[in-house]
Amino acid sequence: DIVMTQSPDSLTMSLGERATINCKSSQNVLFNTNRLNYLAWYQQKPGQPPKLLIYWASTRETGVPDRFSGSGSGTDFTLTISSLQAEDVAVYYCQQYYSPPLTFGGGTKVEIK
Amino acid sequence: EVQLLQSGGGLEQPGGSLRLSCAASGFTLSEYALTWVRQAPGKGLEWVSSISVSGDITYYADSVRGRFTISRDNSKNTLSLQMRSLRAEDTAVYHCARARRRETAVVVDAFDIWGQGTMVTVSS
């Protein structure tokens, strides 16, 4: 199984600051045939289902603000919120869909200072 | 509006059975692979099971294999999860989710549409 490890567990930042969340996979999730990383990022607010933010490691889902960006390849990935807004308070998860069993990171809780 | 509407769930005793259902609104469910994901109270997301467009390919997490059965009825636009031999550790909110890519060959994927979730509590 591919283990997804996120860091940090929580993040407290001021409004307007840059937030960075890391995700490391225990195996490569880059598919050599199409050169795509099978890695997604989700945002989950209390009492709501997760919302897809990023897929293919760096492609923003339709309607997601451009302050959210994804980067990385192979086994190391990053979700960046360029200027933290109040509505970004949530838990963020990475997920690999390279092969079943699909696995999620443990989550990173983002709060405002 | 494109959405997944869930039903089922509730309180069941250890060893009992429950069935969850998920219906599509605003899109044709039969065109997408589907998945169940659960979240225990205060915990993270855990993938449970996925099913292909035609229903001929299914995957299960080790924790539920042999006890849970995923199925779909494309004629009725519905997805189901039959849960048997329930354990306390199955207590969670269960979400159905749609694969982002509308491709027949896709079984596992990122998930762009999620059901609102239904609570399953296993307790005596």
Residue range B21-70, pLDDT digits in tens: 999 999 999 999 999 999 999 999 999 999 999 999 999 999 999 999 99
Indicate the residue of B44, B110, B115 with minimum beta-carbon distance to A49. B115
Interface list for chain A against chain B, based on CB atoms closer than 8 Å: 40, 42, 44, 49-52, 55, 61, 93, 95, 97, 99-107
Indicate the residue of A40, A100, A106 with minimum beta-carbon distance to B44. A106
Task: Quote the minimal CA–CA distance from A97 to chain B in Å.
Answer: 5
DSSP state of B9: -
Taking contacts as CB-CB distances below 8 angstroms, the residues of chain B near A107 are 44-45
Share of chain B above pLDDT 70, in %: 100
Residue B48 confidence (pLDDT):
98
Q: Note the pLDDT tens digit of each residue in A27-38.
A: 999 999 999 999
What token pair was written down for A72? Answer: 């990385």
